[in-house]
Amino acid sequence: MFRTPLTLFRTLAIAEAISWTLLIAGLILRATADLSVAVSIGGGIHGFVFLAYGATAVLVALNQRWGVGPAAVAIVSAVIPYATVPTEIWLHRTGRLRGAWRLDESEDPRDRRPLDRLLRFFLRRPAMLGLILVAVVAVVFAVLLILGPPGGKG
- Regions of the chain with pLDDT less than 70: 150, 152-154
- Give pLDDT, residue 124: 95
Question: What is the pLDDT of the chain when averaged over all its residues?
Answer: 94
- Eight-state DSSP code of residue 113: S
**Cβ atoms within 10 Å, residue 12:** 25
pLDDT digit string, tens, across residues 86-127: 999 999 999 999 999 999 999 999 999 999 999 999 999 999
> Which ranges of the chain would DSSP assign to H, the alpha helix?
5-33, 37-64, 68-76, 84-93, 114-123, 126-147
- Give pLDDT, residue 79: 96
Distant-in-sequence contacts of 123-132, Cβ < 8 A, 24+ apart: 123/63, 126/2
- Give pLDDT, residue 152: 64
CA dist., res. 97 & res. 110, Å (int):
19
